[in-house]
């Protein structure tokens, strides 16, 4: 009798809510379509597959023939459908009621494909123990996580070729470990290397199983993979070899569990895959983490001690990016408000799509169109209920926000942070005018070399985790970092010798303490008055601003007093994403901002002329394709000479 090792092969296909149609189209043509068409040609090949809800909705509307192909493959027994939250939320980051609803929505879709799904692909493999209860309540029997989760719990690698039970509060679920070695071999190395590895696992134990389950985009979308996987024939060679190898028993999760029990009980800590523990750390700590890992590898100690090497957890992104935290906490706020409103909940569930809330090797939070989609759905869900005005710590930073609402807008101030407007959302347009990300230093800005590759033979195609990246010189010239978050109605005091270029590149000094200082406030119907007494160049200064919502926007009256000779500036950071701007300067008492594919049109009016500085807020991030130097918004700063008292009115009008 020939010895055999069991092998589960799975893929996860996902496109974020709000991604461009051409991206869906390209991913479909380069990965999803050719993969499934190849699978159809190998009837003895079996695959566990997860499609996310946003991708399924696009396929239903644009490529219904692909849905028919999936149904056919299910009928033939070649596909096992594995679900997740429909709109691909990180389940650990949303309320339990929403988790259950999200999973059940995708289970219902799987039924339309002809499959009764019992397994969950855990989005970004973000695990926390309390998920057991939610998943069991949603009718889930098994979950797929990484072997890193198990190693973080103290299990040695050699014990991770079997599923286990895990328990929380008396509820039990099966957890399958994904083999990290297979994640780096498939599809980047020649097929023979995967076969050799699988053969090496065979020790006569028929219950032993190796699991590969990873992004479907690796099979055609990632750099270099379309040529390697499809044009050079890697995928068909792989299907042919794996499905015909008499030493490999190709199986599915459900088939395995029909014949074997999990090996025992484990308790997994809060964890994700190993790379996530680097990405989720604050930038300075992430740089140290990379240095530490590389040092261990140079000393040939990493494989021995890596089970004890742990970085951050996924929820650290809410600490790392305050903009993500605020967006997330607004989503949680709306989730409570619309719990009993089915019509509003569909928007709310869309707003939980994970991609815009974090950043790793993909663009994530740095992609404005993904954030815009989340904000659109938060606003649309919120508009089904009236919240009125209130004072509360919305984002749990220990400081109260002031929430104002009228028929057409939401306005949220942070009195403790410059008395600035950190959300100004239009119900009519479903846009947040202040959806602007600050310019931050990321650890990979100073880690130009790639991580140590898993295989230095040069065969195959490089994984995006192995690509070295150096910042181009033209980007370096424009690169600047902020030491504060960006908002609307931020108050600056400059020396009169400061110029636009200094301001744009953050090469200037604030003369006052108003930009991030705390303001006193009082609320009146439809508005708020904010006041601060501070110091400008050693002299006392006072800023008072009275803000009120209107049907078309807002009006704010400023009174500024200081004997210091300075420029007073009011900065408006606006989420202009589709019109690329350059730094510029002009004088005006009114001007329009037009962003036809983003926030639309708006008009700023003043009761006197002002000098206006404008510049694009551009961030440097990494993605699977390389460097992304992206316009996150445009800063418009209204400048007034100050010596004594200054009064002016600013009107924001939505067009």
Q: Mind listing the pLDDT tens digit for each residue in 542-565?
A: 999 999 999 999 999 999 999 899
Catalytic one of 101, 124, 217, 595: 124
Rounded to 5 degrees, what angle do the CA atoms 489, 493, 497 make?
130
Q: Is the pLDDT of residue 463 over 70?
A: no
**Cα distances (Å, whole numbers) of residue 524 to 40, 277, 532, 547, 606:** 66, 46, 18, 10, 23
Domain final residue pick, 246, 272, 298 = 272
* Structure confidence at residue 307 (pLDDT): 84
Whether 324 is covered by a domain: the verdict is no
Task: For residue 94, give every residue at least 6 positions away whose Cβ sits within 8 Å of its Cβ, in sequence order, or none.
Answer: 85, 102, 331, 332, 335, 352
Rg over CA atoms, the chain: 27
Residues 369 and 363: their CA atoms lie apart, in Å, by: 11
* Structure confidence at residue 454 (pLDDT): 47
* Structure confidence at residue 1 (pLDDT): 47
Mean pLDDT of 207-233: 96
* Structure confidence at residue 451 (pLDDT): 45
Residue 541: CATH number of its domain = 2.70.98.10
DSSP at 228: I
Is 215 tagged catalytic? Answer: yes
Whether 62 is covered by a domain: the verdict is yes
Mean pLDDT of 480-499: 96
Over the stretch 318-338, which tens digit does the pLDDT of each residue have?
Answer: 999 999 999 999 999 999 999
Structure tokens, 144: 């797929």
Domain final residue pick, 257, 272, 287 = 272
* Structure confidence at residue 599 (pLDDT): 97
Percent of all residues in the chain with a pLDDT value above 70, rounded to a whole number: 96
Residues 221 and 30: their CA atoms lie apart, in Å, by: 6
Mean pLDDT of 537-545: 95
Whether 397 is covered by a domain: the verdict is no
3-state secondary structure of 444: helix
Q: Is the pLDDT of residue 467 over 80?
A: no
Residues 115 and 82: their CA atoms lie apart, in Å, by: 9
Residue with tokens 């219950």: 207
* Structure confidence at residue 65 (pLDDT): 98
Whether 569 is covered by a domain: the verdict is yes
Over the stretch 71-109, which tens digit does the pLDDT of each residue have?
Answer: 999 999 999 999 999 999 999 999 999 999 999 999 999
Sign of CA dihedral 365, 371, 373, 379: positive
Residues 448 and 469: their CA atoms lie apart, in Å, by: 5
* Structure confidence at residue 461 (pLDDT): 63
Residue 310, preceding peptide bond in cis (omega within 30° of 0): no
Half-sphere exposure of 548 (CA within 13 A, CB side): 7
Reported as a pLDDT band with limits 50, 70 and 90, residue 370 is very high
Catalytic one of 40, 57, 141, 215: 215
Whether 479 is covered by a domain: the verdict is yes
**Cα distances (Å, whole numbers) of residue 143 to 96, 165, 190, 427, 541:** 16, 10, 29, 39, 59
Residues 131 and 137: their CA atoms lie apart, in Å, by: 10
Whether 278 is covered by a domain: the verdict is no
Over the stretch 574-605, which tens digit does the pLDDT of each residue have?
Answer: 999 999 999 999 999 999 999 999 999 999 99
Among 122-136, 185-199, 397-411, 617-631, the range scoring the smallest mean pLDDT is 617-631
List the domain range (segments joined by +) for residue 608.
443-654
Estimate to the nearest angstrom the gap between the alpha carbon of 645 and the chain centroid: 45
* Structure confidence at residue 146 (pLDDT): 94
* Structure confidence at residue 458 (pLDDT): 59
Mean pLDDT for the chain overall: 94
Residue 189: CATH number of its domain = 3.20.110.20
Residues 236 and 81: their CA atoms lie apart, in Å, by: 21
* Structure confidence at residue 450 (pLDDT): 42
* Structure confidence at residue 295 (pLDDT): 95
Residues 401 and 325: their CA atoms lie apart, in Å, by: 14
Q: Is the pLDDT of residue 407 over 50?
A: yes
Reported as a pLDDT band with limits 50, 70 and 90, residue 12 is very high
Higher pLDDT, 26 or 446: 26
The structure's pTM equals 0.95
Reported as a pLDDT band with limits 50, 70 and 90, residue 514 is very high
Domain final residue pick, 272, 301, 328 = 272
* Structure confidence at residue 445 (pLDDT): 93
Taking Cα atoms as reference points, which of 76, 82, 85, 10 lies closest to residue 47? Answer: 10
Reported as a pLDDT band with limits 50, 70 and 90, residue 231 is very high
Residues 58 and 25: their CA atoms lie apart, in Å, by: 9
Higher pLDDT, 548 or 307: 548
Q: What DSSP string runs through 120-134? A: EE-GGG-B-TTHHHH
Q: Is the pLDDT of residue 385 over 90?
A: yes
* Structure confidence at residue 324 (pLDDT): 98
Whether 328 is covered by a domain: the verdict is no
Whether 284 is covered by a domain: the verdict is no
* Count of domains forming the chain: 2
Is 124 tagged catalytic? Answer: yes
Reported as a pLDDT band with limits 50, 70 and 90, residue 623 is confident
* Structure confidence at residue 460 (pLDDT): 67
Q: What DSSP string runs through 200-223? A: HT-SS-TT-EEEEEEEGGGGTTST
How many residues appear in the chain?
A: 655
* Structure confidence at residue 313 (pLDDT): 96
């Amino acid at each position: 009798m020939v010895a055999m090792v069991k092998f589960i092969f799975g893929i996860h296909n996902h496109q974020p809510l709000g991604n461009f149609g051409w991206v869906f189209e390209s991913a479909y043509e380069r990965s999803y379509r050719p993969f499934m068409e190849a699978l159809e040609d190998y009837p003895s090949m079996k695959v566990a597959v997860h499609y996310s809800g946003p991708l399924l909705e696009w396929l239903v509307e644009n490529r219904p023939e692909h849905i028919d192909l999936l149904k056919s493959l299910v009928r033939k027994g070649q596909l096992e459908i594995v679900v997740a939250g429909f709109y691909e939320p990180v389940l650990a980051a949303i309320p339990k009621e929403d988790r259950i609803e999200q999973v059940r929505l995708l289970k219902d879709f799987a039924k339309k494909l002809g499959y009764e799904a019992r397994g969950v692909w855990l989005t970004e493999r973000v695990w926390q123990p309390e998920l057991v209860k939610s998943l069991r309540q949603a009718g889930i029997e098994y979950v797929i996580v990484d072997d890193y989760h198990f190693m973080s719990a103290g299990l040695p690698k050699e014990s991770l070729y079997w599923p286990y039970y895990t328990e929380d509060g008396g509820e039990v679920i099966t957890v399958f470990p994904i083999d990290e070695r297979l994640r780096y071999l498939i599809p980047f190395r020649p097929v023979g290397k995967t076969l050799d590895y699988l053969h090496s696992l065979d020790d006569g134990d028929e219950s032993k199983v190796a699991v590969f389950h990873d992004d479907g985009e690796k099979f055609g979308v990632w750099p270099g993979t379309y040529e390697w996987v499809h044009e050079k024939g890697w995928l068909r060679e792989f299907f042919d070899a794996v499905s015909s190898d008499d030493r490999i028993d190709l199986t599915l999760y459900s088939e395995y569990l029909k014949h074997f029990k999990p090996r025992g009980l484990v308790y997994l800590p809060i964890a994700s895959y190993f790379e996530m523990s680097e990405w989720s750390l604050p930038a300075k700590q992430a740089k140290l983490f990379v240095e530490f890992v590389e040092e261990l590898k140079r000393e040939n100690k990493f494989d021995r001690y890596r089970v004890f090497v742990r970085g951050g957890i996924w929820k650290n992104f809410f600490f790392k990016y305050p903009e993500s935290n605020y967006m997330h906490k607004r989503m949680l706020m709306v989730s409570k408000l619309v719990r009993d409103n089915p019509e509003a909940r569909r928007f709310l569930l869309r707003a939980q799509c994970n991609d815009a809330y974090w950043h790793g090797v993909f663009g994530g939070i740095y992609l404005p169109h993904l954030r815009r989609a989340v904000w659109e759905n938060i606003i649309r869900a919120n508009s089904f209920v009236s919240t009125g005005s209130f004072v509360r710590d919305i984002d749990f930073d220990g400081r109260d926000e002031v929430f104002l609402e009228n028929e057409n807008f939401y306005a949220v101030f942070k009195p403790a942070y410059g008395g600035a407007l950190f959300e100004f959302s239009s119900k009519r347009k479903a846009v947040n005018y202040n959806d602007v990300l600050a310019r931050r230093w990321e650890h990979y800005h100073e880690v130009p070399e790639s991580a140590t590759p898993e295989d230095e033979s040069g065969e195959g195609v490089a994984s995006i985790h192995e690509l070295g990246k150096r910042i181009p010189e033209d980007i370096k010239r424009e690169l600047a970092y902020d030491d504060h978050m960006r908002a609307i109605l931020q108050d600056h005091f400059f020396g009169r010798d400061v110029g636009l270029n200094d301001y744009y590149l953050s090469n200037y000094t604030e003369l006052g303490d108003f930009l991030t200082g705390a303001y006193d406030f009082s609320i009146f119907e439809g508005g708020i008055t904010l006041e601060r007494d501070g110091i400008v160049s050693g002299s006392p200064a006072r800023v008072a601003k009275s803000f009120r919502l209107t049907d078309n926007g807002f009006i704010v009256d400023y009174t500024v007093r200081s004997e210091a000779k300075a420029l007073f500036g009011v900065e408006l950071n606006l989420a202009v994403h589709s019109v690329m701007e350059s730094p510029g300067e002009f004088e005006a008492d009114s001007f329009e901002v037009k962003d036809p594919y983003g926030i639309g049109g708006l008009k700023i009016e003043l009761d006197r002329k002002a000098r206006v500085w404008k510049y694009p807020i551009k961030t440097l991030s990494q993605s699977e394709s390389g460097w992304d130097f992206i316009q996150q918004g445009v800063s418009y700063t209204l400048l007034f000479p100050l010596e004594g008292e200054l009064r002016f009115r600013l009107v924001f009008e939505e067009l």
